């Protein structure tokens, strides 16, 4: 049994977020304080794929890892998050919604916001950021037919492969919604790791294609993050979490509009 691992989930790092993302955004000063807590914890920072390689024995797994992940692909990642990460030599994993990229096809259901460009991604990777896929449109995959899920996965994976010159290994579920059928399709699409949320520490109970993460909100302070890092402020996911997730899926299905609930849920 491995020690529980905090996988932090961020979205936007800005002092002036769009209204719809504001509950999930942190200021650059708050982000810097969180990263200082990561450094002070003494944990070994890894990308998601490095973590997976450690879990599978393909590489050594540090005794106390920590992972920093960022979803969606907001432009402020390059301007605000990356300098703070690079200044502390902290790797990260950025999950990109390809249909929301500023120079892309604009197929996403995300509301308007300043987003990264496809041409930004190779430079981010060169700076130590692992690029992963976050679907193409950001729809709720667990409510879609299998053919639509497969299209989301292939579109996002193919666009990122073209931008980077290689396939990406990791995926993150939009809204954290997944089920066994979706997870199988993620594996068939060639991804070997995937992140959900769960608001729990990752543990040996996690499947590599449904890793638990801790959602950072606008009001999450450095003391809370420090508690997660020392294991006292969060627990590993339990069977009860999964039962509740199933019930929530049925509720969402019952009230889903034709293109799904708007983000955020």
E strand segments, 43-110 = 44-46, 65-72, 92-96
pLDDT given at position 250: 39
| Confidence band of 236 (pLDDT split at 50, 70, 90) | confident
Which of 63, 71, 64, 67 shows the shortest CA–CA distance to 46? 67
| Confidence band of 1 (pLDDT split at 50, 70, 90) | low
CA angle 12–182–250, rounded 5-degree value: 85
| Confidence band of 263 (pLDDT split at 50, 70, 90) | very low
Domain coordinates of the chain in residue numbers? Answer: 7-255
- What percent of the chain is predicted at pLDDT more than 90? 83
Contacts of 175 (CB under 8 A, 6+ apart): 138, 140, 263, 264, 265
* pLDDT tens by residue, 97-118: 999 999 988 899 999 999 999 9
Burial of residue 19 (CB within 10 Å: 0-12, 13-18, 19+) is exposed
β-sheet bridge partners, residue 13: 26
Q: Rounded to an integer, what distance in angstroms lies between the CA atom of residue 93 and that of residue 45? A: 11
* pLDDT tens by residue, 63-102: 999 999 999 999 999 999 999 999 999 999 999 999 999 9
Residue 244 in this model has a pLDDT that exceeds 80: no
pLDDT given at position 238: 58
What dotted CATH number matches 7-255? 3.20.20.370
pLDDT given at position 47: 98
* Full-model pTM: 0.90
E strand segments, the chain = 7-10, 12-13, 25-26, 44-46, 65-72, 92-96, 129-133, 170-172, 193-198, 211-215
Pairing of β 7-10 and β 65-72: parallel
pLDDT given at position 259: 45
DSSP sequence for 147-205: HHHHHHHHHHHHHHHHHHTS---EEE-GGG---HHHHHHHHHTT-SEEEEEETSBB-TT
pLDDT given at position 233: 77
Contacts 24+ apart (CB under 8 A), 112-115: 112/18, 113/12, 113/17, 113/18, 113/20, 113/21, 113/74, 114/74, 114/75, 114/76, 115/72, 115/73, 115/74, 115/75
Q: What is the residue whose two structure tokens read 């294991």?
A: 231
| Confidence band of 248 (pLDDT split at 50, 70, 90) | very low
Look over the chain and give the mean of its residue pLDDT values, rounded to a whole number. 90
Region 157-182: what's the mean pLDDT?
97
β-sheet bridge partners, residue 66: 45
Burial of residue 69 (CB within 10 Å: 0-12, 13-18, 19+) is buried
Is residue 36 within a helix (H) or strand (E), and if so which, with residue range?
helix 28-41
Distances (CA, A) of 175 to 15, 23, 33, 60, 97: 23, 14, 26, 31, 12
């Amino acid at each position: 049994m491995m020690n529980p691992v905090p996988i932090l989930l961020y979205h936007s790092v800005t002092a002036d977020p769009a209204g719809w993302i504001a509950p999930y955004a942190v200021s650059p000063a708050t982000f810097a304080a969180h990263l200082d807590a990561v450094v002070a914890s003494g944990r070994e920072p890894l990308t998601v794929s490095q973590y997976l390689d450690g879990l599978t024995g393909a590489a050594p797994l540090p005794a106390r890892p920590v992972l920093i992940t960022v979803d969606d692909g907001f432009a402020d990642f390059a301007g605000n998050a990356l300098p703070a990460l690079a200044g502390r030599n902290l790797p990260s994993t950025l999950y990109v919604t390809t249909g929301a990229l500023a120079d892309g096809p604009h197929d996403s259901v995300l509301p308007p916001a300043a987003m990264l460009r496809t041409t930004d991604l190779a430079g981010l990777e060169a700076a130590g950021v692992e690029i992963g896929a976050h679907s193409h449109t950001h729809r709720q995959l667990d409510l879609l037919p299998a053919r639509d899920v497969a299209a989301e996965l292939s579109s996002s994976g193919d666009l990122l492969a073209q931008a980077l010159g290689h396939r990406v290994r990791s995926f993150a579920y939009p809204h954290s919604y997944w089920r066994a059928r979706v997870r199988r399709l993620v594996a068939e699409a060639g991804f070997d790791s995937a992140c959900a949320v769960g608001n729990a520490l990752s543990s040996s109970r996690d499947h590599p294609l449904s890793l638990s993460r801790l959602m950072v909100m606008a009001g999450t302070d450095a003391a809370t993050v420090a508690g997660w890092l020392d294991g006292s402020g969060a627990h590993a996911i339990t069977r009860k979490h999964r039962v509740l997730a199933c019930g929530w899926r049925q509720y969402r299905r019952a009230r889903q509009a034709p293109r799904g609930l708007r983000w955020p849920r």
